[in-house]
Amino acid sequence: DSAYQYIADQVAFGPRVPNTPAHDACAKYLSDKLDGFTDAVEVQKFKVRAYNGTILNGKNIIGSINPKAVKRIFICSHWDSRPYADNDPDPANHLTPIDAANDGASGVGVILEIARQMGMTRPNIGVDFIFFDTEDYGPPMDSPKRGQGEFWGLGAQYWSKNMHDPDYSPHYGILLDMVGAKDATFYMEGFSMEYASLILKKVWNTGKELGYDNYFLFENGGYIDDDHKYVNEYAGIPTIDIIHLSKDTPGSSFFKHWHTIGDDMSTIDKITLKVVGQTLLTVSYREK
């Protein structure tokens, strides 16, 4: 229920599109929340150029549990909203910013609840929570730049090349993306298999052990250019992506309301949030 409320809180700000008041207000909310749950919070401010030349004022928000622990892992999600509902069935909505309840806020909500739990019951290791900004400002569907260049995951790209701590060397990372929809299906994503197959199998096996094998599917899901791709390639940290992939959504490999105005609170299911949160808490608490 807490994770659900954290998602609702984010959505209540309106679309968290970079360079908007809603984005600024939500950044403060997230850093304040992490400040209450973790031992140390850092906001990494940066500027990046979007596909259309717009300079985006980004904020990667990082909270740490047990900051002095040598062995560390991190759990991350993007927190910004897509500025365009360019996958919406109604073309009139294609320039409308989205609530991004699932594609953005859901991963953040689950992570905030994990942070709250770990603040009360400490893990044996250090755990960092990273909210990446400017992930979803890529070219619209009809742009000639679609599919060209690395216009997605800009905050993760920046962080991977400019670590908040120059000596940061976690054992692995876990990215959450679209982890809130009813009956979500998490296939084994390609870059995760390529760069961090042992971590992927550990998480999937833990999910199966907890009885969640109808969510964590032991099938290949294809390669997704998500934040973890850049963390793997630029920072060299083995990182997996828990992402809702669908084999039966027309025109998309993602959940039904991806990049539409329908990605609102009605898409969020508390059971799915619990599945993901419980699995990651179990994985984290077992680390020595």
Q: What is the pLDDT of residue 107?
A: 99
Q: What is the pLDDT of residue 257?
A: 85
pLDDT band at 250 (very low <50, low <70, confident <90, very high): very low
Q: Is the pLDDT of residue 252 over 60?
A: no
Q: Is the pLDDT of residue 69 over 90?
A: yes
| Helix intervals (H) in 44-189 | 107-120, 154-161
Q: What is the pLDDT of residue 96?
A: 95
Q: Kindly report the number of other CB atoms within 10 A of residue 120's CB atom.
A: 7
pLDDT band at 254 (very low <50, low <70, confident <90, very high): confident
Q: What is the pLDDT of residue 1?
A: 78
CA distances from 59 to 63, 68, 109, 164, 187 (A): 13, 24, 17, 12, 30
- Mean pLDDT score, 104-126: 98
Query: 259: which 2 tokens?
Result: 């990049």
pLDDT band at 248 (very low <50, low <70, confident <90, very high): low
Would you say 35 and 63 are in contact if contact means Cβ atoms under 8 Å apart?
yes
Q: What is the pLDDT of residue 11?
A: 99
Q: What's the chain's average pLDDT?
A: 96
Q: Kindly report the number of other CB atoms within 10 A of residue 288's CB atom.
A: 7
Q: Is the pLDDT of residue 28 over 50?
A: yes
- Mean pLDDT score, 80-103: 95
Would you say 123 and 68 are in contact if contact means Cβ atoms under 8 Å apart?
no
Q: Where are the domains of the chain?
A: 2-286
pLDDT band at 142 (very low <50, low <70, confident <90, very high): confident
Would you say 135 and 108 are in contact if contact means Cβ atoms under 8 Å apart?
no
- Mean pLDDT score, 115-133: 99
What pLDDT digit, counting tens, does each position of 43-52 carry? 999 999 999 9
What pLDDT digit, counting tens, does each position of 187-240 carry? 999 999 999 999 999 999 999 999 999 999 999 998 999 999 999 999 999 999
pLDDT band at 59 (very low <50, low <70, confident <90, very high): very high
Q: Which residue has the higher pLDDT, 254 or 30?
A: 30
Please identify, in words, the CATH class of the domain defined by 2-286.
alpha beta
Q: What is the pLDDT of residue 145?
A: 86
Share above pLDDT 70 across residues of the chain, in percent, rounded to a whole number: 98
- Mean pLDDT score, 168-176: 99
- Mean pLDDT score, 101-128: 98
What is the model's pTM?
0.96
